[in-house]
Amino acid sequence: MKRFTTAFLFLGLIISTAIQVQAQKSEADVKNLLEQRDQEIKDLLGPEGTEYTDDQRAKLKNIINGIIDFEAMAKVALEGTFDTLSDENRAEFVDLFSTIIRDQSLNKLDIYRADVDYELINVNGDDARVETIAELDEIRTPVYYDMYYKGSEWVITDMSIDDVSTANSYQKQFTRIINKRGFDGLMDVLRKRAARATSTSSE
């Protein structure tokens, strides 16, 4: 009897966990995640014309980029070259790539004040596609997200603004540099960009 009860409880735990995971992979869960992120950014931005401290800028950078999977985006941006790299080179590339994107995310903070309408959220297993319209000053801009359920949370693997993919845009830049100067040449360029970004943020 005791074995039967234990088995029954174990089965119940498995079913309960499966239901919870399924709920986390719903369209509502994806929307809630993005809406929460959007509201956190807006709360920290405050009214237009606000001057931000270094601490506030660091917090904004973390919220804006906190759910981005930079390794997944970097793999697309570097295309087939990514899989040929050593673990050391791959880790440095992802670090430089994320530093540059995180820095650029603060270039135009006003865009995060836009009102966002969710036009489509499509969840297919561990993948999700989110299509939104961001409206600011009566200008409507399509903003799309490709997302993946990694571990126990949704992460962004690519973003498209006005049909321009972030990962594909970098891919074109990186391909041109690699064709001219090789991968080492690309790394030199990225190191300089990342150094400038780090220097600017510390001033």
Q: What confidence category does residue 197 fall into, taking pLDDT thresholds of 50, 70 and 90?
A: confident
Q: What confidence category does residue 7 fall into, taking pLDDT thresholds of 50, 70 and 90?
A: very low
Higher pLDDT: 119 or 22? It is 119
SS3 string of the chain?
CHHHHHHHHHHHHHHHHHHHHHHHCCHHHHHHHHHHHHHHHHHHHCCCCCCCCHHHHHHHHHHHHCCECHHHHHHHHHHHHHHHCCHHHHHHHHHHHHHHHHHHCCCCHHHHHCEEEEEEEEEECCEEEEEEEEEECCEEEEEEEEEEEECCEEEEEEEEECCEEHHHHHHHHHHHHHHHHHHHHHHHHHHHHHHHHHHHHHC
pLDDT tens figures, 25-63:
899 999 999 999 999 999 998 887 778 888 888 899 999
Share of the chain above pLDDT 70, in %: 86
pLDDT tens figures, 9-21:
443 433 333 334 4
Predicted local distance difference test score (pLDDT) of residue 24:
67
Question: Domain 27-202 sits in which CATH superfamily?
Answer: Tgt2/MlaC (3.10.450.710)
Domain spans of the chain? 27-202
Q: Which residues lie below 8 Å from residue 35, measured CB to CB, with a gap of 6+?
A: 116
